[in-house]
Structure 1
Amino acid sequence: MNTRPCFHLAIPVDDIGRAREFYGGVLGLSEGRSDTLWVDWNFYGHQVVTHQTEGGSPGPAGHNPVDEHQVPVPHFGCVLSHEDFHDLAGRMRAAGAEFVIEPYQRFEGEPGEQWTMFFLDPAGNALEFKAFADESQIFAK
């Protein structure tokens, strides 16, 4: 089994300019190859491609109750260090972002202890970011 920590994800957006402002400006991701209707992003070492499509993202298809929150489905995101997680939360607040789920701590003192937050990009794609107290416990039960 290949355990190389890299994925590729293509997501629809309705305005490639707004995608550039959000993914490059607010999230601070570096831009890779691009064309008039798509941009490759270095998403914390992974490749995310924003593709402008007519209508953009349909947004979340639904929600699932988790810890008394409504988690948007589908969503994607990344596991960050504690420092990067809290820096990103601060940048999102400074940009005036509305959180779907405000940053909060889960499983305190238990296996899998983590911080998590959810927000939407300008096209309505749901993103989740996490930071684990101990990254070796990402899959701990």
Structure 2
Amino acid sequence: MFRPIFHLAFPVQNLEESKDFYVTTFGAKVGRVRDKWCDIFLFEGQITLHERPSEVLPIGEHGVRHWGAVLAWDDWEALADRLNEMRIQFKVKPNVSFVGTDAEQAKMLLSDPSGNAIEVKAYKNLSVALSIEDFQKCSPTVT
């Protein structure tokens, strides 16, 4: 059965530099590549990077704009360790908050070379973010 694939597209300053960042940093797989755009597959989603420097916002104008993913706890920890070993510059270093409570969560925030913010989270108890019943209503393929 086909599972829906989340798709996101956004502008970048330099296509090759951005593509290399996602492949190197996150292990993304490259899909279609054209002159001024390419698809990458990451966190079970399709991201299209468009080389459109005039559409990239200056860092100070991003506000809360970001994209992100919620990973399994062990996967988040492994990624945080790997990114620390790579000496990635974080906007928010990998950290865990609400330790020992139902709301315990892990988070890190970094930017791609164009300043697009990426938040990667994990929850000890996923129902804190969205109850599994609500999640199943949104995505009936999840069991």
Aligned to 2:136: none
Cα displacement (A) at 1:56: 5.4
Deviation string 1:44-90 (CA, Å, 9 cap, x unpaired) is 11111111103352146355xxxxxxxxx101110011222122222
Cα displacement (A) at 1:112: 3.0
Aligned to 1:69: none
Cα displacement (A) at 1:92: 2.0
Aligned to 1:110: 101
> How many Å separate the matches in 2 of 1:116 and 1:61?
22
Identity %, equivalent residues: 33
Does the 8 Å CA contact 2:91/2:111 hold for their aligned counterparts? yes
- Pair 1:56–1:26, CA change in 2 (3 A): farther
User: How many equivalent pairs are there?
Assistant: 128
Aligned to 1:66: none
Aligned to 1:53: 52
Of Structure 1 and Structure 2, the greater helix share is in 2
> How many Å separate the matches in 1 of 2:72 and 2:4?
15
The CA RMSD measured in Å over matched residues stands at 2.0
> How many Å separate the matches in 2 of 1:48 and 1:19?
11
Cα displacement (A) at 1:34: 1.7
Match of 2:47, SS?
A: strand
Which runs of 5 or more residues in structure 2 are unaligned?
Answer: 132-143
**Does the alignment pair 1:130 with 2:121?**
yes
**Does the alignment pair 1:81 with 2:50?**
no
- Pair 1:41–1:101, CA change in 2 (3 A): same
Does the 8 Å CA contact 1:60/1:74 hold for their aligned counterparts? no
- Pair 1:60–1:134, CA change in 2 (3 A): farther
Of Structure 1 and Structure 2, the greater strand share is in 1
- TM-score with structure 1 length normalisation? 0.80
**Does the alignment pair 1:37 with 2:28?**
no
Which runs of 5 or more residues in structure 1 are unaligned?
Answer: 64-72
Match of 2:87, SS?
A: coil
